[in-house]
Amino acid sequence: MAFTKNDKGMLEGYIKNARPFADMFSVKGKVALVTGGSSGLGFDITLRLLQGGAKVVIASYSELEGETSIPLLEEQGFKGSVAFKLTDVSKEAQVKELVDFAVQTFGGLDIFVNCAAVWNYAHIYDIDERDVRKVFDVNVMGAFFGVKHVSKYMKENGVHGKIVLISSNCPIMPYPVFGGYPHYASSKAAVMGLTTEAAKELKRFGIMVNSIAPGAMVTPGSAGNLASSYLTEEQQDEFYEELMVWQTDGQLPVDQIGIMAYTFCTPASDGITGEVVMVDGGQTHNIVSYQAAIDQYPPEEE
């Protein structure tokens, strides 16, 4: 079909409506809440949000993490733009108090990043009920309570906000070699489901909900991750033997994952909701730059 003057007008409309490129990746003037924001990936996301111009409230169950992270961020020039609140996200009343605190501290709430999570190692046939309940209380109920109270505030105040939930690639690609994350993988699969349903419910209010699913990365939490304390010493030793043969294609720098999470907090993601984005360097598609040889474990019987 021939190009017409009307087509030219459409192109002129594209130009007129194009927002300045820098604005598309800015969170200047926004208020963000990051649970788990005092360590690991959450800390990295907090840093990026502050660099982007947001004011940020970070929450953690650890007073020490708050006492450590806030001065570090203030040393980078963000004094007055970041605050900490001690919070157990598995307790709904505390999550509501956290949302109220963010609004009272910085005058509103535009962005919510749920990064709080706990885990440990145990096989499904050995796992203790207490480990399962703790992981689900923090990882699932914590995310649920956060979305509930943040979205309620946004809806009632006409905020076209951004919600980003940190899940994991492990429901899609179980690891280590012989598993050991049945409770964690299940909890992160639940976060994926929450992402889709919350996005469906909240789009009509201009609230966009997405999830970042990282692969393995080095954080204080992952570095100190151990077998369940409820396992026998023999079971723990067996598990650590299995971990010794866990081979992957390497681990992404935390900031590569943090940058993707940050992007979902910006206008650049205005057209995206209900998505779970795997940020694992292609791991879930078996896209690798190398594959180390692994001897059969346990050895085949002769």
Catalytic residue among 30, 55, 85, 188: 188
Separation CA 211–CA 146 (nearest Å): 14
Farthest-apart Cα atoms in the chain, separation: 79
Separation CA 75–CA 82 (nearest Å): 11
Structure tokens at 273: 């909701």
- 228 part of the active site: no
* φ and ψ at residue 121, rounded to 5 degrees: -105, 135
The sign of the CA dihedral 65, 151, 196, 25 is: negative
- 188 part of the active site: yes
- 290 part of the active site: no
Judging by beta carbons within 10 Å of its beta carbon (0-12, 13-18, 19+), is residue 29 exposed, middle or buried? Answer: exposed
Catalytic residue among 38, 184, 187, 262: 184
Judging by beta carbons within 10 Å of its beta carbon (0-12, 13-18, 19+), is residue 298 exposed, middle or buried? Answer: exposed
Radius of gyration of the chain (CA): 21
Active site residue ranges: 168, 184, 188
